[in-house]
Structure 1
């Protein structure tokens, strides 16, 4: 099956309105209190004089309340989904403040993602704390961009911000949002950055994201589909990790934050790496002991639209894979904002980490991440296409394939936003492609778990001065079903660091370290592990055109002959976090 046929079949019905950007409250049916008081479209002035439109929901007309704050770019607060947040807050004794961020809907100012939320969030927190109905304590919750604004507001250590609950949130905007592994996240940045975030409101335009997204050079892509979007052009103009991205590396700014956080992520979420990274850096480096001890991590078998369904892609994870979001959040905020005692895994003295073990399909509490008992075990690629924990002993061994940017490997599953593509899918539609090398283990004879960070070390050479190498971890079931768990990429020029691009010498062997983020899976007897190695994943990632030219500036491309080396000298492998059986 060709790339065009597969991608077209998967996303022909995709529209921007199908992308979920909200908190998951699937069963919340409570109503507003009878004594509710509402104030719509209150102008709140920022430090530069720009007014942001803000709605206020109070449980009663009088009294002082802890406040839950939603800062949103996706709606003006009038939709049923957003009204549900106000019902949730006020029904549980909280005021709810809903604000449209700068430049969106009725809020004044110029819209530009991310950067403006640092000061605007801080100013909004200060404003809430001064109101007659506020007890001075503010919590924030929400997912995706609604989670981003929580971390960005926390940078100034505003004393009013008592606790946050960011779900499926980026934390390193270069490595997660724009350039995972140094390769541009084309599908999400184009559909979100151009089509969704390219206007004041969420307007859906008749854009062909299959053919239109293939336009070259990429620097003209937005104009080609009818938009002029400054932030999208800025993303393209900064393909390396530089001063543009540094303010948005929130993991590196943990010392500037002092807020307890309930970090919620999904094994198939596009921002999984940062959910884990934020938890780790805040636990070690945040500015107060309360904050360091107040970090919690929950990871379920979910995509970016988290906690919506027990089935994702081609895999059913069971009803226990879903959690009770409202009860969890109330427990969290009541503890930090009302001083309520709570006896659960969310609160101090209990397990700070809760993860869903796929395959076994159970939740488990842990004391740390990564798990202290982890045994990191390399599984080596062999020239006979086997995968084993035995290192190669031969002095030579290699396999080749040609990577043609004009016919890239189509995206089929993974940690992405798009509903029709994300999650675990049977990889059979890709079986006929010759530009994928597949390495598979013998069947496991007993139940075997791996949980934790996963990486690959690939020794490779290329005929091109720059190219991409990718690794995908796949579970092969006894019936032949082969579904993806996680994957990773490295753009060759960033092999020594994302801030130090260096072209490669054609024909020279280099070691490429591929961050495949993390996963958790319990293998059953008869299961096998497969590693696919290739050089494209389109349209999730922009194609490397193999010319070594500056990114996004050219439409010229050439075929690259790729050689994966696997010998005693060049032991290509994937490193799995194996968990010893008890």
Structure 2
């Protein structure tokens, strides 16, 4: 049984939405078998005495079992989707432990995201290992926050944790969750951090987050819509990568972890950078050889909510993008937890990486990431709005635009949580905006694959002491449609490091390096590449108000006069990974 079958099972088994769960766990919709024993709301004490509500499902009375653990913030375990997890586990010889994390639903304590999961996850693993029904081996699976708790629990290297399968999970909480490129991830942090998990249970108060987050200053945003949420205030009070974020930089803590992991992400997922980062750092730095060799990476054509149909945004995918084989999840855990035969994905001659190549719409196995055969080709921007592999020979060349925070470029697609905005969208609705510079290639004459990490190097000056610069990679089809692939941002004050804020000198030219994460797309003959450069992406990212003031503390705005330089001296470009 090949790696692709294992992966197909894992991906849909870990789906985030009820639709995905219905697809992937359809066979587990019936009633529990009479042999299953359920114990609800067991108070499990943490090291500080706080008790967490924990449900246990056993395949039958008596005996010992390996355990699958779910630690959740979104339900108390009674939801149909979570019940399917229990039926899935018990039907296949596993106990399932479902726990509401500290401060959520029926668990005691004060809710505060992320930090508390390190010790609470460790304590829960130890508790499971001590139970008479446990054989001492625990695996964890789940997506998004349910994936975060897996990595956070792994930091303490609890011997009970033998394998995990985190899907669409952050790994560097400053750079992925809160401040990509140094710009605050406003829509997701507000709608999730305040509106969804700002209390003990998920809230559904009538707040239009797209409209309401226009409020300034940002440090009174929660109050303006009627909330007082400490973790949100802490996030906006730490706009630099300082000591607050250090415990949550799990990429930097790979040498503290020793757990095999199936790392699963999506090209349009908000946490794509960390899915790749976790795989890379764990393969290189994990504490044991078993863990280093036990990492696998799978990236499909999904946003954060997983793919539930063959069309995402405005991009039509192949029928093979719909995958539903949850039984293959068992192959991963059965090997690590039951001693079953080694799955093909762990054999020396099998590829540890599997990616979906959009455009061509095929799955492909690879031996490493990034691909060793990649050629990194620069494409330079020119003052005639062209984009080409030829560097400029001009002594002086530039283009200008004005960025007005009162009229920011609206978010249209990309790696974002919002179900309405995420994924690939035709960029035509933004065509009339004069605060976007667009540079496009000639049509490609042959099929060309772009797979791997993407970056932009922009030389720019501004009239402001602080501002943002953003780059977006777009595929222009022969019919004129323009679909976004990836984008990135850098806040000017963080050009020298996210822990080193330093304002810029107005009028001075600086080099800005923009991490645009990664993608995989095969261009067809006739397709063109376009790069858009601008200074806002709202409400996905908080607006830079261009004043140089401390973040979130002011309502004052200024228009920034931006100049993008593209001469021989200042060769602004995007670097694309071309796969032969």
**Structure-2 change in CA distance of 1:325 and 1:105 (3 Å):** farther
TM-score (norm 1): 0.95
Q: Secondary structure at the match of 1:485?
A: strand
Q: Which residue of 2 aligns with 1:26?
A: 23
Instruction: Verify: 1:470 aligned to 2:467, yes or no.
Output: no
Partners of 1:577 and 1:328 in 2: CA distance: 32
Structure 2 unpaired stretches of 5+? 1-15
Instruction: Verify: 1:372 aligned to 2:376, yes or no.
Output: no
Q: Secondary structure at the match of 2:226?
A: coil
Q: Which residue of 2 aligns with 1:510?
A: 510
- Between the two proteins, the alignment pairs up a number of residues equal to 562
Partners of 1:259 and 1:205 in 2: CA distance: 40
Alpha-carbon shift at residue 319 of structure 1 (Å): 1.7
Alpha-carbon shift at residue 345 of structure 1 (Å): 2.9
Instruction: Verify: 1:391 aligned to 2:391, yes or no.
Output: yes
Alpha-carbon shift at residue 565 of structure 1 (Å): 0.3
Alpha-carbon shift at residue 324 of structure 1 (Å): 3.0
Instruction: Verify: 1:559 aligned to 2:559, yes or no.
Output: yes
Q: Which residue of 1 aligns with 2:522?
A: 522
Contact kept, 8 Å, 1:22 with 1:143, in 2: the verdict is: no
Q: Which residue of 1 aligns with 2:108?
A: 108
Q: Which moved more, 1:530-539 or 1:32-41?
A: 32-41
Instruction: Verify: 1:61 aligned to 2:56, yes or no.
Output: no
Q: Secondary structure at the match of 2:60?
A: coil
Q: Which residue of 1 aligns with 2:193?
A: 193
Alpha-carbon shift at residue 328 of structure 1 (Å): 3.1
Q: Which residue of 2 aligns with 1:241?
A: 241
Matches within 5 A, 1:397-436: 397-436=397-436
Q: Which residue of 2 aligns with 1:458?
A: 458
Q: Which residue of 1 aligns with 2:302?
A: 302
Q: CA RMSD in A?
A: 1.2
Contact kept, 8 Å, 2:168 with 2:265, in 1: the verdict is: yes
Q: Which residue of 2 aligns with 1:163?
A: 163
Alpha-carbon shift at residue 307 of structure 1 (Å): 3.4
Structure 1 unpaired stretches of 5+? 1-18
Instruction: Verify: 1:492 aligned to 2:492, yes or no.
Output: yes
Contact kept, 8 Å, 1:68 with 1:141, in 2: the verdict is: yes
TM-score (norm 2): 0.96
Q: Which residue of 2 aligns with 1:351?
A: 351
Partners of 1:92 and 1:572 in 2: CA distance: 56
Q: Which moved more, 1:252-261 or 1:210-219?
A: 210-219
Q: Secondary structure at the match of 1:323?
A: coil
Alpha-carbon shift at residue 34 of structure 1 (Å): 3.1
Alpha-carbon shift at residue 24 of structure 1 (Å): 4.5
Q: Secondary structure at the match of 1:561?
A: strand
Partners of 2:63 and 2:204 in 1: CA distance: 42
Contact kept, 8 Å, 2:400 with 2:564, in 1: the verdict is: yes
Q: Which residue of 2 aligns with 1:15?
A: none
Partners of 1:129 and 1:23 in 2: CA distance: 31
Q: Which residue of 2 aligns with 1:136?
A: 136
Partners of 2:574 and 2:497 in 1: CA distance: 20
Alpha-carbon shift at residue 254 of structure 1 (Å): 0.2
Partners of 2:308 and 2:63 in 1: CA distance: 36
**What CA deviation, in whole Å up to 9, does each residue of 1:208-259 have, x standing for no partner?**
2132110000000000011000000000000000000000000000000000
Matches within 5 A, 1:523-562: 523-562=523-562
Contact kept, 8 Å, 2:262 with 2:295, in 1: the verdict is: yes
